[in-house]
A and B are shown apart, each in its own frame.
Chain A
């Protein structure tokens, strides 16, 4: 490579570096800074070293116990979301039409939930699931099933999971559909001639061809569900009790409710690292599986 070319390239990257520095690195450093100090208001700060981190990672302390509980809720929620949305998304994609005017119609309908902002989704479901005036809540209660998401933790969970499934299954389905569309007709014809059953076609043709998009879908849905905030905040506000208090909700309670900036900063950094680590593990495991198949 020619040297002059290289140096000019650095110059061109500079604006991007500056933007990233101001938008990400500087705020992040502020958070790091807070996380090693304690404050009693009045802008007075005291050096606390790794004290907050120790407390946070020790389950016997108040802060640590609270964090671990929230973390388990997050993991349970993500696991439920993946377990429901991925198979459901695949099933929906498989039953979508392959050609004709219905393709366009289906795609529009599928894309609708994705266009609605998070807080609006929350509000819709908050009303929809109310036992007094919400259609869903009222109907379920009329069927004799006790359902009240403001009082009963199970109802609250069901509501939030159902809401996320309603909001995001389309994304998984659309990604899978794109994967399915890339399979040439000859594969289906050959499979018919080979006498393959519906399941064998799915297992040996459709699933392998969807593999890559599924990887993306799982990754996206995991990250998104693990960082969930707006919907439970709008619908349950983290309750009843602490039953739907996820890490992100707890974070806001700590930082804005109790104004424990140091604890909140330490929590947000640990939360961030966990998300990065889990995503990295997901990604490596899945790409390695992909490579092994060659």
Chain B
């Protein structure tokens, strides 16, 4: 069981980091609770894999400490930490059977006899691997191999945390649904801390209780999926989460209104003037931006309609600025002329990328 503390943790590949850019991972302070499911989400090079390798012990941080349940493990090697890891490409010992693969970590720790057998069978049952127990690792499908990799972690009774490094990369879309729900069920059943690294927002959001959004070696926001969706703390979070991402438009603020490309958009909250020459933008998700016939809202030109099967997304331009909007059921847009309606409570204001808190005004809230 593990509660993971990152204490002023940072990593730099250069010997004497002076500037911010020298850090692959900028110094951070976080506590991850025992039994939580965390996802580290961000584009390549954002530092998520570096952070994962520090937690697993494959990499020693250049500064700060890692604590498991209050115990400093910063300098402990991987095998001395009670963690298991599942990699992007499944690691299966080809020459062994599935059974031997699962028993391997136990036998390496000197365990023998019926206890090993019972534990292996229990984990195989949990992962639906029982029918394959006597097959060789080689020749199994990618998803079965990935389950074996996971099983070798779960089989150890002492394991406190399981780390996943983009585990579904080589899995077909259909099987991703199965494996994802399997992972979630396991997490509920086993009370283990799980940390999941991915660039895929769907995987991160569906897996985790808390998603850690990273960019450029920095943690931008930690939150539940709905928080990240409804109130992104940074325009990058808004852009990165959601498909398509949040619409971000340069704006001028005046109290409860924003001027965007010569049009006025009503806000649900009031804002003080933002000083210091910061770039002011408003952000609103396509889900809260609805396409409407011309004249009903802010005028836009329709560029394209994407039919995604269960929803349609209109790509439009508002005074030359690209914007995505949801096309409501039953609306058949004709021609280029149309308009969009924003949900005022879901419009956020950002200064230099960071969320600005607004105040609800009595009687005027949405």
Interface residues in chain A, defined as those with a beta carbon under 8 Å from any beta carbon in chain B:
184, 186-187, 189-190, 192-197, 200, 204-205, 208, 293-294
Q: State the CA gap A186–B166 with chains docked (Å).
A: 12
Contact at B108–A193, with CB atoms within 8 Å?
no
Contact for B85 among A193, A204, A205, A208, CB less than 8 A: A193
Q: Give the Cβ gap from A129 to chain B, nearest Cβ, in Å.
A: 42
Known: A192-B77, A195-B105, A294-B136. A208 touches B95 (CB 8 A): yes
Flag if A205 contacts B58 (CB, 8 Å). no
CB-nearest residue of chain A relative to B96?
A: A204
User: B94 contacts A196, CB within 8 Å?
Assistant: no
| With A186-B88, A293-B138, A294-B138 as contacts: A193 and B149 at CB distance below 8 Å | no
A192 to B104, CA, bound (A): 12
Min CB distance A185 to B, Å, is 9
Nearest Cβ in chain A — how far from B304, in angstroms? 41
List 12 contacting pairs A-B, 8 Å CB cutoff, sorted by A: A186-B87, A186-B88, A189-B58, A189-B78, A192-B79, A194-B152, A196-B108, A204-B96, A204-B104, A205-B93, A208-B94, A293-B136
Distance A189 CA – B138 CA, assembled complex (angstroms):
19
| Total interface residues in chain B, CB < 8 Å | 26
How far is A192 from B57 in the complex, measured between Cα atoms in Å?
A: 10
Closest B residue, CB atoms, query A209:
B94
Q: Do residues B94 and A194 form an inter-chain contact, with CB atoms below 8 A?
A: no
> Does any Cβ of A come within 8 Å of B139's Cβ?
yes
Q: Please indicate the chain A residues that have their CB under 8 angstroms from the CB of B78 in the complex.
A: 189, 192-193
The dominant DSSP class at the A interface is helix
B133 contacts the other chain (CB 8 A): no
Counting CB contacts under 8 A, is B222 at the interface?
Answer: no
Contact partners of A200 in chain B: CB under 8 A = 104, 108
By beta carbon, the residue of chain B nearest A197 is B108
Interface readout for B28-71 with A: 1 if CB under 8 Å, 0 if not?
00000000000000000000000000001010000000000000
Contact partners of A194 in chain B: CB under 8 A: 104-105, 108, 152
Measured between beta carbons, the chain B residues less than 8 angstroms from A187 are 91
Q: How far is the CA of A294 from the CA of B85 in the complex (A)?
A: 26
* Complex Cα spacing A200 to B153, Å: 17
On whether A189 and B87 interact (CB within 8 A), knowing A194-B104, A195-B79, the answer reads yes
Contact (Cβ within 8 A) B153 A193: yes
Which of A184, A189, A294 is the most central at the interface, judged by chain B CB atoms within 10 Å of its CB? A189
Q: Which residues from chain B contact A195 at a C-beta distance below 8 Å?
A: 79, 105, 108-109
Q: B89 within 8 Å of A by Cβ? A: yes
Q: Is B25 an interface residue (CB 8 A)?
A: no
CB distance from B167 to the nearest CB of A (A): 11
The answer to whether B84 has its CB under 8 Å from any CB of chain A is yes
In the bound complex, do residue A193 and residue B136 qualify as a contact, i.e. CB atoms below 8 Å apart? no
Residues of B within 8 A of A208 (CB): 93-95
Q: How far is the CB of A204 from chain B (nearest CB, A)?
A: 5
Contact of A186 with B95 in the complex, beta carbons under 8 Å: no
B residues 105-157 near A (Cβ < 8 Å) are 105, 108-109, 136, 138-139, 149, 152-153
6 closest A-B pairs by beta carbon, nearest first, are: A195-B108, A190-B91, A186-B87, A194-B105, A204-B93, A208-B95
Residue in chain A with minimal CB distance to B108: A195
- A193 in contact with B109 given A184-B89, A208-B94, A294-B138 (CB within 8 Å): no
CA distance A192 to B149 in the complex (A): 13
Chain B residues with Cβ under 8 A from A205's Cβ?
93
Complex Cα–Cα for A194 and B87 (A): 13
